[in-house]
Amino acid sequence: MDDLPEIDASAAVAAVEQGAVLIDVREQGEWDAGHAPSAILLPLSEIGNRLDELPDGEVLVICHSGMRSARVTAALLELGREAVNVAGGMVAWQAAGGPVVTADAR
């Protein structure tokens, strides 16, 4: 996965603000604790059965720290999809000032 397309969190925040699609592959409990407002939840444990829910075009993939999202990004690329891993995941997203909401706040 050394040549995996990656975007740093600051650039990801800016890209999402400009309309990029962000796919969050964490599980429901992690999502409920805090997620990017416009992210789409497709947990790693379910994504194989929900690929048809992915929008066309490039997607940014995020998890907690970047490991699961790297796996999903690699798998999507193998399937011929356009995917970019968000380096550092939600930890880096928050550190870069990315907005976060909780399930209760929605």
| pLDDT averaged per 10 residues, the chain (length 106) | 89 98 97 96 95 95 97 96 98 97 74
Can you tell me the distance from the alpha carbon of 52 to that of 97, in angstroms, rounded to the nearest whole number? 31
Q: In this predicted structure, what is the pLDDT of residue 1?
A: 56
Q: What is the CATH number of the domain that holds 80?
A: 3.40.250.10
Q: Which of 9, 1, 10, 2 is nearest to 61 (CA)?
A: 9
Which residue's structure tokens are 């995996």?
A: 4
Provide the domain limits for residue 77. 6-102
Confirm whether 12 is domain-assigned.
yes
Q: What is the pLDDT of residue 17?
A: 97
pLDDT at 2: 66
pTM exceeding 0.75 = yes
**According to the model, what pLDDT value does residue 104 have?**
73
Which of the residues are catalytic?
63
**Residue 92: partners with Cβ closer than 8 Å, 6 or more residues away:** 8, 9, 65, 66, 86
Give the Cβ contact number of residue 88 at 10 Å. 21
In a domain, 1, yes or no: no
pLDDT at 105: 60
In the prediction, which pLDDT does 103 show? 77
Tell me how many domains the chain contains.
Answer: 1
